[in-house]
Amino acid sequence: MPNILQSLQINTLISYFISPKFGGWLLILKISFIVFSLFLLGFIIFALIKTTWLKRLIIYDLQEFLTYRPYGSRKSEKDWQKIKNRLETDMESEYKLAVIEADSIFNEILKRMGFGGESLGERLEKLTVASLPNINEAREAHKIRNNIIHDPTYKLTLDEAKKIIIIYEKSLTDLQAL
């Protein structure tokens, strides 16, 4: 019996608030709260669309689940193929660009994986041999990339460029990004 009485009281209360019998200041208060609620709901929807939180929460996880691969690995593979194609030319500038792009991809993947730091050098300092077996080679490859960036007269041979690309490829494979 108490459940029926409570249900009746709740129904009476709901019908009282919904009924058009509201007049005067209560009607104005009701309308202002409805408008304010709609404004807040719109702001929440706007914030969810503009931030990456919703994408990470739903879309990225769904894609990883359905493809059994980390999010963004397909794009990384396409970019990696472009880097390898740069090594097939006979131009030193393309070799340098391939090393710079490989370093950039490596940096982005480490950033996405949550390794902190302002630059790749700082991120590499935080890595250990347990997380990346060829960490010392990756540090050397990054130093060569810095030499390419800061010294325009730096000479890079095809063999040296291939060696650096192999180092980055092994690092990315160990991190399961390729």
pLDDT at 130: 80
Residue 162 has pLDDT above 60, yes or no: yes
- Give residue 53's pLDDT: 75
pLDDT band at residue 115 under the 50/70/90 scheme: confident
Whole-angstrom distance, CA of residue 67 vs CA of residue 19:
52
Q: Are 150 and 96 a contacting pair, CB within 8 Å?
A: no
pTM of the model: 0.60
Q: What is the pLDDT of residue 37?
A: 94
d(CA 164, CA 45): 46
| Tens-place pLDDT, residues 22-46 | 566 777 888 889 899 999 999 988 8
For residue 9, name the pLDDT band (cuts at 50, 70, 90): confident
The predicted model gives 109-135 an average pLDDT of 82
